[in-house]
Amino acid sequence: MQLRFIVLSPRGATMGKINLQKVLIGGLIAGVVLNVIDSLLFGVVLKDQMAAAMAALNRPPMTNAQVPWFVFLDFVAGIYLVWLYAAIRPRFGAGPATAARAGAAAWFLGGLLITLFMWPMHLMPANTQITTLVVGLIEWPLAGVVGAKFYTEGAGVGAGAGAGMGARM
């Protein structure tokens, strides 16, 4: 269950295989981080603001029946995030700085750009959008770093319980 890339990196080394099993494991863990933070942000901190924004759009507030959809999407996002880390790892090197870069890149595409596209439509109050952007800029790199701790390439290299962070990432 691995993809093989036969592309040369700028350093002239052959890029390794992406370990899809580890992408899935790390991605699900990153998804847990995203879900915990999003649950606190949208279910507690912004709950009233989100309900008011939906009312202003003549829409009902979010119900508990809709929560599984957002939970699912956070897990999909976590898997994408760790896949992105694995994809850029040969260029930027293994480790938390690269994982944070992957998180920032995912936030840029999934947070900032989407918010900027919706901004002129005034679907949400500006303070709500800014809050979600700021939290996301912390949340996504954090989820990337946590998920990347569980990502390794190759068969068993650095995968043991006693392996240090550098070997595991």
Within a domain: residue 167? no
The tokens describing 136, both together, are 């996301």
Q: What pLDDT is stored for residue 73 in this prediction?
A: 98
The CA distance from 23 to 30, in Å, is 10
Tens digit of pLDDT per residue, the chain (169 long)?
555 544 444 554 456 789 999 999 999 999 999 999 999 999 999 999 999 999 999 999 889 999 999 999 999 999 999 999 999 999 999 999 999 999 999 999 999 999 999 999 998 999 999 999 999 999 999 999 999 999 988 754 444 333 344 444 5
What is the signed CA dihedral for 130, 134, 136, 140, rounded to 10 degrees? 160
Q: What pLDDT is stored for residue 104 in this prediction?
A: 98
Within a domain: residue 168? no
Within a domain: residue 160? no
- Can you give the residue range of the structural domain that contains 123? 18-151
Nearest Cα to 153, choosing from 83, 106, 75, 97? 83
Within a domain: residue 11? no
Q: What pLDDT is stored for residue 16 in this prediction?
A: 72
Within a domain: residue 64? yes
Q: What pLDDT is stored for residue 2 in this prediction?
A: 56
Strand partners, 14: 8
Contacts with 65 (C-beta within 8 Å, 6 or more apart), sequence order? none
The CA distance from 145 to 84, in Å, is 12
The CA distance from 158 to 55, in Å, is 52
Within a domain: residue 53? yes
Q: Please, what sign has the CA dihedral across residues 33, 96, 78, 2?
A: negative
- The DSSP call for residue 161 is T
Total structural domains within the chain: 1
Within a domain: residue 145? yes
The CA distance from 115 to 117, in Å, is 5
Q: What pLDDT is stored for residue 49 in this prediction?
A: 95
Q: What pLDDT is stored for residue 45 in this prediction?
A: 97
Q: What pLDDT is stored for residue 6 in this prediction?
A: 45
